[in-house]
Amino acid sequence: MKFSYNWIRELVDGLDLAPLDLERLITMKTAECEGLEEAGALLAGACAARVIQVEEIAGSENRKAVVETDRYGVKTVVCGAPNCRPGLRTVYVPVGRKTVRGVESDGMLASGAELGINRDHGGVLELEGVLGLQPDQAIEIDNKSINHRPDLWGHHGMAREVAAISGKRLRDPVRMDLLPGGEAAVRVEIEDLDLCPRYSALVFENVTVRPSPLWLQYRLQAIGLNPINNIVDFTNFVMAELAQPTHAFDRDLLKGPTIYIRPARRGEPVAALNGETYTLDERNLVIADPGGAIAIAGVIGGGPTAIHGGTRSIVLESANFQAASIRRTSTQLKLRTDASMRFEKSQDPVNTTRALARAVELLAELSPGIRLVGGLADAGKPLASPSEIGLPLDWLARKLGRRVETAEVRRILESLGFGVAPGDGKLTVSVPSWRATKDIEVKDDLVEEVGRMVGYESIPPVAPLVPTAAQPDDPERGFLRRVRAALAAHGFTEVYNYSFVSQEQARELGFNPADHVAVANPIASDQGLLRISLLPGILKNIRENSRHFSSFRLFEVGREIHPREGALPDEIPHLAAAVYARDDGQAGLLEIKRAAECLLRGATIEPCASLPYEHPARSGEIYWRGERVGRLFEMHPSLLEGRAAVLSLNLRAVQALGRPEKRYSPPRRYPSSAFDLSVIAGVRELAGELERKLRALAPAALLESIEYLRQFSGAPLPEGRKSVSYRVTVGSAEKTLSSEEVGAIRQRLIEGMRELGYELRV
């Protein structure tokens, strides 16, 4: 948002602050400024001039012109403009001497674009009178810092702030007495007063459409608006001055004397000013005549009723719309305009007639001979009375951190347009209409008004006198932190996903969308459900990373959100970890199993029936301390290119089981002995099951450990068989076992396994 320094000076009597000083004060007391942008720099030395003589320069498109200037006498310049001719009154700029094609040129004749008045590069500027324009500085303000201040989207609102900051008097450019009385020449019907609280209009005839005077073109150009013609330019001028968008329809192109403000019909088209045609629905508000929609309310006008060179009569509208409705339409159509940005901020309904009164004065100058037809058309809700807020002065001092004299508080608030009535130890503050739509509601808001005007730097920084105490430890947070640290230590990278999924993501993994909690107002079309599993997000992460890496490890700690009948959803903390590689997947399964065993020491994995998204032969359930706490599996090959082993843990169940006790075991005083055994078993038989059978056969008091070593299949073993090797370690706490005792234990295991039907390689 750009604000003209010259424009603000016209609205604040006696303002003597330099542009840079003013910019700093606005930043400190009102809104963050992003800098100053110079406009019309050449105007500082420019003056009006009359072309006396023009001569062609041989071999050049340029011509030598002798001009008589109002300030510098007679000058000779070289000019290439096609409209340079004797008798032309134009603008001379003293930019120094140079020689062009052997002709010395002292200064230049300037175009409107070169002077910064407009965007016309086609020729030098043609004057009807004196120039009378001065260089300007545009103060640029970050839009985000004034989102809550609809009044600051116009120069008059910013001038009010500047007047309060500088202690000067604000000048109101609006003369309400110019509004005509009598019966209006146009009727207005509003279908929904919540969507359009007020709609005002005037009718003018004997309109002349022509270029705007230079002062208006320059004023708009300085703040980044493109001059078009006098009718369109004055609507932009009013919007930039009063923050109230207006729009002019060609009255002769309307199909009847009534203007309707209503929701669009489903599929109703509107041909807009930008050349696009938009198809609307009931969520969009339109301006219509008896023939159909003629504008998208608050966003953009219609092309068929637009002002053109032959326009002779106009209907000038000035409306107030519900902010949410305009924002919704603008977002839906992907169309943001200067008008929609202001209506989205909740404009002041009082401003509709103020803008029309300002238009009556301006149009008399911009279109000489223009006439009002009939009176003011004004429909809508009754205007709300100003709300009142009690402001206790002792409370204000405590809240602000310093005491401000009552007279100073009153002066500040009144300079900002608030009404102030004194009372016993407090002030009763009435909120002006331009601050009541979205900004000032409670007494805390008034603290900010006083604080920013006295200057926050004047408030001594003092720590609050509030007793503090350390918060108790959150067991869940500490537990989840340990889980994250353990996975990171194993080379896994943590990822974060939204808690939302689409119906397509849910169905892809076999989840029923009806089992999810649906989001009432999803932030995106593909985020309409709350996830009941972390797996859709992890699958998406794997797919995205697999395009760039051939192997990786990642994990997420998040919450699964399950619906509950008659209660809030149940949010269960879960872990999902994955190891991806472009291989046969065996190494990944073993790595993810190792990660599970490090997290849950002593956990076991039991084969189980696979789920739709799991590999048919590579899935198992994880048991820890007698409870099922998760699953370990490989993603179904149809879902990915490559293999991904996945660990899914219910962290609530894991935390509930608690951390196992650690007991001290003294080191053995006597040496242990070890021997290897290889068991011949079916190729699909589990190594863990064979280990359990060996443990059951060994003497518990002497068995230290049984460690899996390797497995082998192929010749000379028959097809469908494999050899699984284990290392058995035995020892006694009372003595060193003899070779005969160790041999007896070994033979016991061999015979026991043979009795169970297994063959051993010994």
- Contacts of residue 25, defined as CB under 8 A and 6 or more positions apart, other chains included, come to 17, 162, 165, 166
Pairing of strands 187-190, 258-263: parallel
Nearest residue to 124 via CA among 46, 187, 180, 185 = 46
Is the same domain home to 371 and 485?
Answer: no
Tokens encoding 130: 């004196």
Checking if the pLDDT of 129 tops 80, the result is: no
128 within a domain of the structure (yes/no) = no
pLDDT of residue 526: 86
Q: What angle, 0 to 180 degrees and rounded to 10, lies between the N-to-C axes of helices 739-755 and 687-697? A: 120
pLDDT classification of 661: cutoffs 50, 70, 90: confident
Is the same domain home to 325 and 435?
Answer: no
* pTM for the whole structure: 0.68
Is the same domain home to 435 and 371?
Answer: no
Q: Provide the domain limits for residue 449.
A: 388-458
Is the same domain home to 540 and 578?
Answer: yes
- CB count within 10 Å of CB 70 equals 15
Alpha-helical (H) ranges within 323-442 are: 323-333, 338-343, 351-366, 393-400, 406-415
45 within a domain of the structure (yes/no) = yes
Is the same domain home to 240 and 276?
Answer: yes
Domain end call among 409, 425, 458: 458
pLDDT, tens only, 535-551: 999 999 999 999 999 99
Checking if the pLDDT of 671 tops 90, the result is: yes
Q: Is the dihedral of CA 680, 682, 684, 687 positive or negative?
A: negative
306 within a domain of the structure (yes/no) = yes
pLDDT, tens only, 269-294: 999 999 999 999 999 999 999 999 99
467 within a domain of the structure (yes/no) = no
Distance between CA 472 and CA 100 in Å, rounded?
A: 83
Tokens encoding 171: 């000048």
Look up the CATH number of the domain holding residue 513: 3.30.930.10
Average pLDDT over residues 152-178: 96
* Mean pLDDT for the chain overall: 93
Checking if the pLDDT of 18 tops 80, the result is: yes
Write down the residue that tokens 């092309």 correspond to. 303
Checking if the pLDDT of 464 tops 80, the result is: no
pLDDT classification of 53: cutoffs 50, 70, 90: very high
Is the same domain home to 161 and 54?
Answer: no
- CB count within 10 Å of CB 75 equals 19
Is the same domain home to 287 and 303?
Answer: yes
Is the same domain home to 681 and 701?
Answer: yes
Is the same domain home to 491 and 425?
Answer: no
Tokens encoding 444: 């805390």
pLDDT of residue 59: 83
Look up the CATH number of the domain holding residue 248: 3.50.40.10
Is the same domain home to 149 and 22?
Answer: yes
668 within a domain of the structure (yes/no) = no
Average pLDDT over residues 720-728: 93
What backbone torsions phi and psi does residue 118 show, to the nearest 5 degrees?
-150, -160
pLDDT of residue 418: 96
- Residues of the chain with pLDDT > 90, as a percent, come to 85
401 within a domain of the structure (yes/no) = yes
Look up the CATH number of the domain holding residue 26: 3.30.56.10
Strand partners, 76: 66
C-beta separation of 248 from 316 below 8 A:
yes
pLDDT of residue 469: 82
pLDDT, tens only, 67-90: 999 999 999 999 999 999 999 999
Q: Is 614 helix (H, G, I), strand (E, B) or coil?
A: strand
Region of 267 on the Ramachandran plot (φ > 0 left; ψ -120 to 50 alpha; else beta)? left
546 within a domain of the structure (yes/no) = yes
pLDDT of residue 318: 97
126 within a domain of the structure (yes/no) = no
Quote the strand ranges of 545-608, DSSP E: 551-564, 567-581, 604-607
pLDDT classification of 761: cutoffs 50, 70, 90: confident
Checking if the pLDDT of 523 tops 90, the result is: no
Domain end call among 326, 346, 380: 380
Quote the strand ranges of 57-186, DSSP E: 63-69, 73-79, 89-100, 103-109, 136-141, 169-170
pLDDT classification of 430: cutoffs 50, 70, 90: very high
Is the same domain home to 196 and 334?
Answer: yes
Q: Running DSSP on this structure, what letter comes out for residue 369?
A: T
pLDDT, tens only, 362-393: 999 999 999 999 999 999 999 988 889 999 99
pLDDT of residue 687: 87
pLDDT, tens only, 605-649: 889 999 999 999 999 999 999 899 999 999 999 999 999 999 999
Domain end call among 628, 657, 686: 657
Average pLDDT over residues 386-409: 93
Write out the H or E segment, with its range, that includes residue 421. strand 419-422
Write down the residue that tokens 């109101």 correspond to. 172
Look up the CATH number of the domain holding residue 693: 3.30.70.380
Give how far Cα 28 sits from Cα of 115, 140, 161, 544, 625, Å.
33, 14, 12, 46, 62
Distance between CA 241 and CA 235 in Å, rounded?
A: 10
Q: Count structural domains, the chain.
A: 6
Is the same domain home to 291 and 407?
Answer: no
